[in-house]
Amino acid sequence: MKEELLPPIEESVGAGAMAPPLPQKKSLSIFRKRVRKFKSLKRGYYSFVLLLVTYALSFILPVLVNNKALAVHYQGHYYFPIIRYYPAAQFGMDAIGEPNYRELKRKLSRESAGDWVLMPVYPYSPTESLLDLPGSPPHKPSREHIFGTDDRARDVFTRLAYGFNVSLTFALLVLGSSYVVGISVGAMFGYFGGKLDMLGQRLIEVWSSLPFLYTIIIVSSIIVPIYIPGRNLLMQPSFWLLIAILAVFDWMGITYYVRGEFYREKAKDYVGAAIAMGVSEPAIMFRHILPNALTPVVSFAPFAIVANIEALVALDFLGFGLPAPTPSWGELIGQGMNYLTDWWLVFFPLAAVFVTLLLIVFVGEAVREAFDPKEYSRLR
């Protein structure tokens, strides 16, 4: 049997031709790999998208859920009550202050064919008492008020919608302020170590032993919350006061994790190289070590948001939270305790809290799995 001779490479490829280069696979950074892993976890990713869209929509609630008209056409002129105040006499109504735009819409539809009122999708305000409803509050769910009204005849759905924005904004602001302090303190303890670390740990242990609830009660008895009508809810002094108090207590938890990460990272070669090149210590801490020490920070952030929302709900339920006409989930749950037979005051607020916290927990589980340091370890 004759051996078949293979043709020369030049003849098989062609005279003067070269073999095509093999395609090179583009390498991804660890962060992109983690993002791709997070997107592959459908339950957590879809929960994150749903929360993000709902939270974005909550900032335009005055356009969607409000008792002020978006636009009014009256006697040949256009008015925009959503951005400007108009007295009732401006539209020929005998009333003091701002008109009832729902009543104005019914009046113009009956009396004038050319005039009209454009109302939001759900035309009720979170602080409006609907005293014209038949019977005494709270009222059962109906076509006009899908979640019913509370003990002051305020629409429950509207208060839950605005309360979502208040609760999540509160939790995010507490998270941001406490993480800034906690990460900075933990970075200093882990990087410098020695007496600073030992003394700082003892001070944290003393500070963490202070009772949180008693501190809230004492501060609430000294500083009386002030509600400013017509202002943004985030501008209320008590809102920022509660953020400051919770941030003072919440920054200690993340300090331990950042401290441990800095102890581990500062022993690596890239830190020694940065020191040898004369890089300043703040630059080494926050430009070189911190990006490699953010895994516990990102992993624990969703669960910290859950804890902050629960803290606000608990404080509002006990009466030490936001001032009284502010839309609050805890305040509605407190009403449900007083009106146990009115099921809508118990079911809907608890359902809003449960669904929101459940979605955030799903996001936290997915983030924790995607940012698992063992997933992309060189030892695997």
pLDDT confidence band for 312 (50 / 70 / 90)? very high
| pTM confidence score | 0.84
What's the confidence (pLDDT) of residue 64? 94
- The pLDDT tens digits of the residues spanning 229-246 come to 544 444 445 788 889 889
Instruction: Write out pLDDT tens, residues 266-308.
Output: 989 999 999 999 999 999 999 999 988 888 899 999 999 999 9
Cis peptide before 20 (omega within 30 of 0): no
Exposure string (b/e) for 139-161, b if CB count within 10 Å is 16 or more?
bebeeebebbbbeebbbbbbbbb
Does residue 44 contact residue 38 with C-beta atoms inside 8 Å?
Answer: yes
Average pLDDT of 113-127? 92
Beta bridge partners of 116: 73
Q: Residue 78: beta bridge partners? A: 73
Compute the distance between CA of residue 233 and CA of residue 215 in angstroms, rounded to an integer. 24
pLDDT, averaged across the chain: 86
Beta bridge partners of 65: 122
User: What is the distance, to the nearest Å, from the Cα of residue 309 to the centroid of all Cα atoms in its chain?
Assistant: 9
224 pLDDT more than 70: no
For 156-370, CATH gives 1.10.3720.10
**For residue 212, what are the CA distances in angstroms to 239, 243, 329?**
17, 13, 21
In the numeric block, which tokens belong to residue 360?
Answer: 């955030």
Give helix 42-58 / helix 30-40 axis angle, nearest 10°.
Answer: 90
Query: What are the sequence ranges of the domains in the chain?
Result: 68-118, 156-370
